[in-house]
């Protein structure tokens, strides 16, 4: 049996081999050698000979090349490697692009192809060692392969229930080397738990050339400054680099937290551990120290994403390489009061800021929200409950609605009839929720032929919630009286909660389900506002009519019932 010192000696030899491969042999997917002068923070990671390693990174941070080279180095010393990826189909693409391609290089062929053995997408003989590649979604994949090392790529995307069986593959090995890596999601879960709670948690520090303060560059301490009110609501975001005016020739610079001078984020630096002495070697790395990412581009992305909780989580996870920490969120009456425009009264018909959008939640009543668009705002012009289709059609005509998103379920035929009846005047979209439990549907899927949108419920409600938090939404002072007086209850009912899928163990944020008809109508209307910008709802319509003329898309049809505000 290996002693601890023997294990360290073996790992040192493996790390030395990896360093030779990285500096003399390996080429990236672009065919370029690895450049440790431009990426100086990676050298210490490549030289890490700790038995247990955890790496928490943003996207495109150099992590995957490290995993590939660590695997090759292990196999060069006769180790059996168990390499876990989130899904089986991803495994096949990964092996083709990231394993088979390096093996075409002469040096790799000489080192790893001499021995005869298995050579397929799931199992490869590499020199004196072997590597098995598996997806995490099946228990059978975690059987019948004794391993010396386990490498897990994208831990948070893997099935955590089956992943527990990976360590069983190390039972007969003296080496028992593990490397866990991935893009984080939530605090206290997945790779964030291993790095933040179990490891020494190393961060990259660089010096300020003016005051010589060594500091770990973070987004909120060195790049932007947030100003919040007494309730914690975000008021403004300012760049700390006040000299940057958007000039593409000059990048945005991080600013020293002590003296206010610019800091060279790409220069010399060193890793410092938050918790020295912990047995797991943990590394946290986002895009801020990487030479291929300009801060100005990250800032523009941040400005685009920060107004949505879903977008802010994507920026935090993918760009900063950090877990998203956001307490339980809910819409409150106080937040709605902040959206009140004191002098505003609900209009009785078309407004100068039309045409309007509409969101409809279908249930015992038709819960409806209609908005017009003063510059930079989504202003409520109607919110209420309707009893019939005729009332709905009259409302569309009165406010000159041209883009409309409707709950696709449960009354499928009824909603399809609306699409067919209104097609010549209104861009009507049916909306259904998609995305399996424990996953996010990151993009809205648009089927123009079927006029169908498939969206993630959490992301949809996040967008509408952000409109209110950021005061993009405007309300009348009497908003509590809307929808038979039920507006406040139905808007403030849902809470944003962190739930765990009991089958997969994955966590995700969800908005709770309750009496939320007006909240859904508002969210559908928010989606309609996005479609209003993305599509041309006026395609095929005549030029806008003067305000005093009634826009009636139902001319020639039976007269519509008059609707009163409720």
Check residue 115 and give its pLDDT: 53
pLDDT average, residue stretch 50-78: 94
- Residue 546 vs residue 358, higher pLDDT: 358
Residues near 163 by Cβ (< 8 Å), separated by ≥ 6?
84, 136, 152, 155
**Residues written for the chain:** 566
Check residue 521 and give its pLDDT: 96
Which stretches of 202-332 are DSSP H helices? Answer: 219-222, 295-305, 309-314
- Which residues on neighbouring strands pair with residue 357, listed in sequence order? 371, 403
pLDDT average, residue stretch 182-198: 91
Check residue 425 and give its pLDDT: 86
Among 188-197, 485-494, 498-507, 537-546, where is mean pLDDT lowest? Answer: 537-546
Q: Give the pair of three-digit tokens for residue 187.
A: 């605090």
Check residue 492 and give its pLDDT: 92
Distance CA 507, CA 217 (A): 28
Residues near 318 by Cβ (< 8 Å), separated by ≥ 6?
58, 59, 183
Check residue 1 and give its pLDDT: 62
Check residue 328 and give its pLDDT: 55
- Which residues on neighbouring strands pair with residue 401, listed in sequence order? 356
Q: Give the pair of three-digit tokens for residue 209.
A: 């050339």
Check residue 540 and give its pLDDT: 34
* The pLDDT of residue 381 is above 80: yes
- Quick check: 463 and 308 in contact, CB under 8 A? yes
pLDDT in tens, 232-259: 556 688 999 999 988 888 999 999 999 9
Range 329-534 has CATH code 3.40.50.720: no
Check residue 476 and give its pLDDT: 95
* The pLDDT of residue 426 is above 80: yes
Inter-CA distances, 462 with 136, 152, 459, 510, 522, Å: 30, 31, 5, 10, 11
Sign of CA dihedral 134, 140, 146, 147: positive
Convert 364-423 into a string of H (helix), E (strand) and C (coil). CCEEEEEEECCCCCEEEEEEEEECCHHHHHHHHHHHCEEEEEEECCCCHHHHHHHHHHHC
Stretch(es) of the chain classified as CATH 3.30.420.240: 329-534
CATH number for the domain running over 4-201: 3.40.50.300
Q: Give the pair of three-digit tokens for residue 400.
A: 């000159």
Stretch(es) of the chain classified as CATH 3.40.50.300: 4-201
Which stretches of 60-152 are DSSP H helices? Answer: 63-76, 88-94, 106-112
pLDDT in tens, 271-316: 999 999 999 999 999 999 999 999 999 999 999 888 778 888 889 9
What share of the chain in percent tops pLDDT 70?
88
Distance CA 433, CA 441 (A): 9
What share of the chain in percent tops pLDDT 90?
55
Nearest residue to 226 via CA among 243, 239, 245, 242: 239
Q: Whole-number mean pLDDT of the chain?
A: 86
Element housing 414 (H / E):
helix 412-422
* The pLDDT of residue 510 is above 80: yes
Check residue 114 and give its pLDDT: 52
pLDDT in tens, 431-473: 998 864 434 445 678 888 888 899 989 889 988 998 898 888 9
- Give pTM, 2 decimals: 0.72
Check residue 388 and give its pLDDT: 92
pLDDT in tens, 135-147: 998 888 898 899 9
- Quick check: 443 and 434 in contact, CB under 8 A? no
Among 41-55, 431-445, 499-513, 537-551, where is mean pLDDT lowest? Answer: 537-551
Check residue 443 and give its pLDDT: 63
Among 42-56, 105-119, 182-196, 532-546, where is mean pLDDT lowest? Answer: 532-546
CA atoms within 13 A on the CB side of 337: 3
* The pLDDT of residue 397 is above 50: yes
Check residue 266 and give its pLDDT: 94
What band does 161 get if pLDDT is binned at 50, 70 and 90? confident
What band does 29 get if pLDDT is binned at 50, 70 and 90? confident
* The pLDDT of residue 206 is above 60: yes
Check residue 325 and give its pLDDT: 75
């Amino acid at each position: 049996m290996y002693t601890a010192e023997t294990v360290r000696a073996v790992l040192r030899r493996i790390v030395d081999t990896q360093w030779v491969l990285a500096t003399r042999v390996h080429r990236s997917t672009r065919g370029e050698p690895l450049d440790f002068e431009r990426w100086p923070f990676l050298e210490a990671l490549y030289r890490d000979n700790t038995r247990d390693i955890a790496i928490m990174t943003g996207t495109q941070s150099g992590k995957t090349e490290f995993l590939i080279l660590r695997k090759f180095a292990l196999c060069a010393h006769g180790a059996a490697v168990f390499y876990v990826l989130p899904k089986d189909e991803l495994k096949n693409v990964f092996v083709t692009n990231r394993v088979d391609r390096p093996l075409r290089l002469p040096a790799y062929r000489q080192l790893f192809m001499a021995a005869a053995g298995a050579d397929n997408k799931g199992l490869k003989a590499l020199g004196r060692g072997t590597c098995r590649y598996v997806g995490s979604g099946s228990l059978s994949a975690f059987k019948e392969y004794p391993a010396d090392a386990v490498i897990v790529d994208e831990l948070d995307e893997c099935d955590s229930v089956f992943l527990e069986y990976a360590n069983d593959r190390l039972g007969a090995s003296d080496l028992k080397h593990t490397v866990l890596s991935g893009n984080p999601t939530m605090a206290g879960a997945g790779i964030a738990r291993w790095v933040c709670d179990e490891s020494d948690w190393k961060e990259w520090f660089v010096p300020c050339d003016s005051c010589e303060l060594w500091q770990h560059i973070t987004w909120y301490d060195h790049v932007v400054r947030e100003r919040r009110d007494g309730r914690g609501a975000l008021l403004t975001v300012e760049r700390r680099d006040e000299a940057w005016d958007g000039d593409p020739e000059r990048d945005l610079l991080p600013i020293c937290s002590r003296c206010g001078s610019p800091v060279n984020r790409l220069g010399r630096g060193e890793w410092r551990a938050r918790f020295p002495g912990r047995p797991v070697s943990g590394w946290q790395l986002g895009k801020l120290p990487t030479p291929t990412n300009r801060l100005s581009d990250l800032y523009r992305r941040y400005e685009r994403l920060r107004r949505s909780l879903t977008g802010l989580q994507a920026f935090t996870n993918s760009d900063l390489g950090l877990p998203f920490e956001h307490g339980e969120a809910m819409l409150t009456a106080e937040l709605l009061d902040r959206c009140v425009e004191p002098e505003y009264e609900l209009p009785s018909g078309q407004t100068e800021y039309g045409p309007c959008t509409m969101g409809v939640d279908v249930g015992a009543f038709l819960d409806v929200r209609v908005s017009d668009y003063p510059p930079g705002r989504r202003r409520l012009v109607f919110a209420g409950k309707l009893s019939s289709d005729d009332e709905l059609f009259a409302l569309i005509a009165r406010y000159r609605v041209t883009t409309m998103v409707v709950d696709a379920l449960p009354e499928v035929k009824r909603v399809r009839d609306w699409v067919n009846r209104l097609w010549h005047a209104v861009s009507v979209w049916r909306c259904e929720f998609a995305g399996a439990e424990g996953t996010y549907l990151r993009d809205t899927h648009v089927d123009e032929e079927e006029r169908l949108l498939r969206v993630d419920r959490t992301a949809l409600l996040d967008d509408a919630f952000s409109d209110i938090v950021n005061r993009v939404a405007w309300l009348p002072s009497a908003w509590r009286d809307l929808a038979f007086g039920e507006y406040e209850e139905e808007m403030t009912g849902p809470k944003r909660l962190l739930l765990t899928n009991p089958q997969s163990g994955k966590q995700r944020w969800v908005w709770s389900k309750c009496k939320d008809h007006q909240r859904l109508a508002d969210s559908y209307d928010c989606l309609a506002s996005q479609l209003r910008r993305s599509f041309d709802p006026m395609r095929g319509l005549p030029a806008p009519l003067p305000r005093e003329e009634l826009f009636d898309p139902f001319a020639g049809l039976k007269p519509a019932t008059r609707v009163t505000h409720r």
